[in-house]
Chains A and B, each alone.
Chain A
Amino acid sequence: MFKLLNSYQLSYAYHGAFTSTLTDKILALSETNLDVESESLKIKKKVYFIIVESLQNLTRHKSTEIDLTDAESFFSIHKLKDGYLVGSANTIENDKILPLSEKLDKVNSLNQEDLKNYQHEVLSASGFSEKGGAGLGLIEMVRKSGNKLSYGFEKINEKNSYFYFQTKITDISANIGSNEITYNHQIIKTIHKVVHENNLKVFFQGQFKHENVKSLLSMAEISMYLTENFAFRKTAVSIMIELLQNIAFHAAGINNNDDRPGMFMVSNKGNVCSFITGNYVTDVKLAELSKKLEHVNSLNDIEITDLYLETLVLENDDSNNSAGLGFVDIRAKSKNKIELDIHPFSDDKKFVIIKANINY
């Protein structure tokens, strides 16, 4: 599944309920990530704008049928070789499809000059649509992204459909290949399907620098995908802290030593919530890690507490780590074995997937 998501150059995805605080956190994460990726100011501003508009569209057009809406909203960001792709999927009432498509088709049919005129026209007419937009957002999206908007619908039932929507932002300075490559909404449709079928809630792939880790954490804290149960939420966030900082502290770089590429996802199946990380580890560190996990997994609850206390007073922390307390802590808090999955990568590095599960 990770390979498949990776083939779509997915960098971030969220599936679930969208609240305005969550939207703010997604924006904060996007901003820090764009900084970490050290994109040019121009592309940063464009991408940020498209993300804002897409998130607003998501809540603006979504169906009001409560059973469907919240759990089914989806948002993703893809980092492509020549730019970014921002996608969203949400439910929409069937009778809203036609007016929305007309608006989108109209905006797509215009060239840059016509768009400008149309924008003036809309501004002076100030004919706001029922849900607050005057189509200005869409016009700006086309103008800023430099690409047409791709969209599609898929019927769910007699009343509702999925509305897939994606915008590509081309980095003109990168200019790899031509701008002619048109991405249709199939990308977002496929990703949405994979995420939906695998009960994924959050996916993030990128640099695990401290800033990004902080944004991911504050996002997780307010996310509704974590149940309302306070103790569970506390445990979940604590485990996330350890897993994410683990990558930030220990993962191997690929391009240079400061590089911390990795991925993180949360899935929710039945009554088990899984936190999955993936990153590169040198063979030397991996041997240590495997041994550590094997030991931690072999212990029962009482033995784990003993090991916790033992590790806590251990006098060795010349480097900024917890002297192995992290996995002991995860094991103790999750009350489940920590899963380890190793995939070959290079002569001296492996791609390592770690999974912590909490029952609730």
Chain B
Amino acid sequence: MTILKLDATEDTPYVFFDAQNGIFDISKRSLPENAIVFYEQLLIFINNYKSLPAPETKVNFHFDYLNTSSIKQLMKVILLFDQLATSTKVFVTWCYDKGDTDMFQTGQRFEKLTSLSFDYKEI
């Protein structure tokens, strides 16, 4: 499977992973009842990708709302890219709505816990 595409719902995010081109987009809101179950498929996909990554990996986040259980799972996602960054190029873009300082800070906290450097975009 080289593509994972999930449409956004009221409480789960839009996901577009393209392994061949090294594109990983997650956006909208993430507040599912069971974040572990939702993020499991994402983690499996990224783990597989790590064994045969594209020359460059572009990760884009743009969240509207995140509950803390999603934040916990997202940390795992980001840590996988952090591991990948030791062998290939990984670019992380953290987008947030104009004026959403909470979401900006969430990005900064993630960044602090990795050796990645995030590119911030206020949209």
Bind each other: yes
Which of chain B's residues 63-106 have a Cβ closer than 8 Å to chain A?
65-69, 71-72, 75, 97-103
Smallest CB–CB gap between A167 and chain B, Å? 31
Indicate if the CB atoms of A323 and B72 lie closer than 8 Å: yes
- Out of B33, B67, B97, B98, name the residue touching A322 (CB < 8 Å): B67
0/1 per residue, A226-246, Cβ < 8 Å to B? Answer: 000011001101100110010
Indicate if the CB atoms of A320 and B34 lie closer than 8 Å: yes
Indicate if the CB atoms of B102 and A238 lie closer than 8 Å: yes
A329 to B110, CA, bound (A): 14
The total of Cβ contacts below 8 Å across the A-B interface reads 72
Spell out A's residues near B (CB within 8 Å): 210, 214, 217-218, 230-231, 234-235, 237-238, 241-242, 245, 248, 305, 308-309, 312-313, 317, 320-323, 325-326, 329, 333
Instruction: Report chain A residues within 8 Å CB of B67.
Output: 241-242, 245, 322
Known contacts being A322-B67, A322-B71, A323-B72, is A312 close to B113, with CB within 8 Å?
Answer: yes
Closest Cβ neighbor of A318 among chain B residues = B36
Which of chain B's residues 26-69 have a Cβ closer than 8 Å to chain A?
31, 33-37, 65-69
A303 to B113, CA, bound (A): 16
Additional 9 contacts, C-beta under 8 A, given A210-B33, A308-B109, A320-B33: A230-B98, A231-B99, A231-B102, A234-B103, A238-B66, A238-B102, A309-B112, A312-B109, A312-B113
Indicate if the CB atoms of A234 and B33 lie closer than 8 Å: no
A241 to B68, CA, bound (A): 9
Instruction: Report chain A residues within 8 Å CB of B7.
Output: none
B11 lies within 8 A of chain A by Cβ: yes
A33 to B33, CA, bound (A): 17
Q: List 24 A-B contacts (CB under 8 A).
A: A210-B33, A214-B11, A230-B98, A231-B101, A234-B65, A234-B99, A234-B100, A234-B101, A238-B66, A241-B65, A241-B67, A242-B67, A242-B68, A245-B69, A248-B33, A309-B112, A312-B109, A312-B110, A320-B34, A320-B35, A322-B69, A323-B72, A326-B68, A333-B102
Smallest CB–CB gap between B115 and chain A, Å? 14
Known contacts being A214-B10, A237-B65, A325-B72, is A317 close to B100, with CB within 8 Å?
Answer: no
Closest Cβ neighbor of B10 among chain A residues = A214
Smallest CB–CB gap between A302 and chain B, Å? 13
Closest Cβ neighbor of A217 among chain B residues = B31
Instruction: Report chain A residues within 8 Å CB of B69.
Output: 245, 317, 320-322, 325
Closest Cβ neighbor of A324 among chain B residues = B68
Smallest CB–CB gap between B62 and chain A, Å? 14
Indicate if the CB atoms of B109 and A245 lie closer than 8 Å: no
Instruction: Report chain B residues within 8 Å CB of A231.
Output: 99-102
Smallest CB–CB gap between A81 and chain B, Å? 31
Interface centre among A217, A313, A322, A333, by most B CB within 10 Å?
Answer: A322
Indicate if the CB atoms of B11 and A235 lie closer than 8 Å: no
Known contacts being A218-B10, A241-B31, A245-B31, is A317 close to B109, with CB within 8 Å?
Answer: no
Instruction: Report chain A residues within 8 Å CB of B100.
Output: 230-231, 234
Indicate if the CB atoms of B102 and A317 lie closer than 8 Å: no
Instruction: Report chain A residues within 8 Å CB of B11.
Output: 210, 214
A230 to B109, CA, bound (A): 21
